[in-house]
Amino acid sequence: MAQAAHLSKFHFARAFTKAYGETPRTYLTRRRIERAKDLLRAANLTVTEICFLVGFESVGSFSSRFRDLVGMSPTEYRSASAGAPPIPGCFVLMWTRPGLARGQQSGRSTDGGGGVASGP
């Protein structure tokens, strides 16, 4: 981020903290945990899958940061917020897969429907 803003990483961190009241790392961790909370409530994914999907590299660090910020483990959070039927994990993984156009992910054709079917 600092490089994109054409600032040194130290100046960027000071400016970010002054503007938003938290360091860039704290902000990123908080946003990752917020996204994990959404996925734990709504998606049929394992805690490990969610951990890596939101950007953590270790299940242990994810679980400890989650507990620090939320007050309970990811599994306890999922159990406490059970209710709505979960989104199938395969759909979440497909939707968040990088490099595909949204039309391809949703199964819609991007050729305007003018494709010619070939048959035997």
Q: pLDDT, tens digit, for every residue of 107-118? A: 554 454 444 444
Q: pLDDT digits over 18-61, tens only?
A: 998 999 999 999 999 999 998 998 888 999 999 999 999 999 99
Nearest Cα residue to 21 out of 30, 9, 33? 30
Structure tokens at 14: 């000071």
Dist. CA 87–CA 42, nearest whole Å: 6
